[in-house]
Amino acid sequence: MISGKFLLGRGRHELSEDEKQVLEDSIGSVRQVAARKQIVRAGDLIDTSTLLIEGFVCRYMDDRMGQRQLVAVHVPGDFVDLHAFPMKRLDHDIATLGPVKIACYDHRTLQGITERYPHLTQKLWFSTLLDAAMHREWIFRLGRLGAEGRIAHLFCELNVKLEMVGMATDGRFMLPMTQPDLAEATGLTGVHVNRVLRALREKNLLTFKANEVQILDRQALAAVAEFEPQYLYGSKGE
Amino acid sequence: MTDTGRSAPDGINGRENEIMTTPESIAGTAAAEGGLVTLDGPDGLAITFTPEAAAETGRRLIAAAEVAAGQPSDDQSHD
């Protein structure tokens, strides 16, 4: 099932087989997009929403000097821009980090789901509220944590999210992000990120090499990050 | 669940007079890295300077600190 990672680890088991099939059958098209390509541009009128099937994408905003702030990193199973369904345009750009496969849902089809499947609609709403919860946590990260905490927090978050969809095991996962990407996600410079990654490695907390992350001490890393995963709303037993 | 000690047990209710960010009494840590100067924390501070900007910021901080040390302290828990 192409949409099989949607809400995996977050209550997908509460969807009926019929609802899962409706979500699957509602896919309008499936696209492969190369790495480092823009998928959606801020301000454009859009009539589809994107479910990420494979790979990683980011949401970002650029300042007047062209410096970038990542405001979200999405993993497979995330509905990247479901909020565009009611809003019809985005206030941020979306781009791929590595090569991705995406499923596109026409907004008229989503409208039909909202009219006929209230429980599935509630789950779609839930998924956009997850985004809001993560945005709150990213504000906390940028406003309250130092450089090590910010980097540690991002890796803790990605680890939990990827565990939910079966893409992280024992703290190890692949991540097609560069040090400049990490810098743009954490409001740091590249040189600062480099120093923090070295410090985390020397403390035996984490290694990040050739796009592979290995968390060495999950509890200690979470302590550095002040990371508490409740905001990710994981469900047990999936 | 990891206990990071992030939340006070009684949340915001027991902290009515401490909600605002308070002045930091611990000095930040400066380091040279790749021909640049990084300044870390406390209180979420994380910034990278060129050497020239770092030196000038240092001079300005010292000057401001000397002025502030001669000022009456401001109790920030009251308007």
* Residue corresponding to tokens 């992350």: A213
A145, A228, A229: residue with CB nearest B44: A145
B2, B6, B38: residue with CB nearest A191: B38
Element (H, E) at A224: helix A218-225
pLDDT recorded at residue B4: 74
- Residue A64: half-sphere exposure toward Cβ, Cα within 13 Å: 0
A150, A194, A227: residue with CB nearest B46: A150
The residue of chain B with its CA nearest to that of A160 is B1
Q: Touching check for B62 and chain A: CB below 8 Å? A: no
pLDDT recorded at residue A162: 98
Tens of each residue's pLDDT in chain A, 238 residues: 999 999 999 999 999 999 999 999 999 999 999 999 999 999 999 999 999 999 999 999 999 998 999 999 999 999 999 999 999 999 999 999 999 999 999 999 999 999 999 999 999 999 999 999 999 999 999 999 999 999 999 999 999 999 999 999 999 999 999 999 999 999 999 999 999 999 999 999 999 999 999 999 999 999 999 999 999 999 876 6
Q: Touching check for B51 and chain A: CB below 8 Å? A: no
Q: Touching check for B44 and chain A: CB below 8 Å? A: yes
Q: Who wins on pLDDT, B4 or B26?
A: B26
d(CA A142, CA A172): 25
pLDDT recorded at residue B22: 81
The residue of chain B with its CA nearest to that of A189 is B48
Q: Who wins on pLDDT, B5 or A147?
A: A147
- Please provide the DSSP assignment of A15-63 as one string: S-HHHHHHHHHT--EEEEE-TT-EEE-TT----EEEEEEES-EEEEEE-
Q: Report pTM.
A: 0.90
Q: What is the ipTM of this complex?
A: 0.72
Q: Above 70 in pLDDT, residue B3? A: no
Q: What is the CA radius of gyration of chain A?
A: 18
Element (H, E) at A212: strand A212-215
Q: What is the dihedral of CA A121, A123, A125, A129, to 10 degrees?
A: 180
Superfamily name and number for A12-138: Jelly Rolls (2.60.120.10)
Domain extents in chain B: 28-71
d(CA A46, CA A89): 6
Tokens of A187: 């409001």
Local confidence band at B12 (pLDDT 50, 70, 90 cut-offs): low
User: Among candidates B55, B53, B25, B52, which has minimal Cα distance to B41?
Assistant: B25
pLDDT recorded at residue B77: 47
pLDDT recorded at residue B21: 73
pLDDT tens digits for range B15-34: 555 567 788 888 999 999 99
* Greatest Cα pair distance in chain B: 47
pLDDT recorded at residue A60: 96
Q: Above 70 in pLDDT, residue B75? A: no
pLDDT recorded at residue B78: 47
User: Among candidates B14, B58, B46, which has minimal Cα distance to A189?
Assistant: B46
CATH number among 2.60.40.10, 1.10.10.10, 3.30.160.270, 3.40.50.740, domain A146-232: 1.10.10.10
pLDDT recorded at residue B79: 45
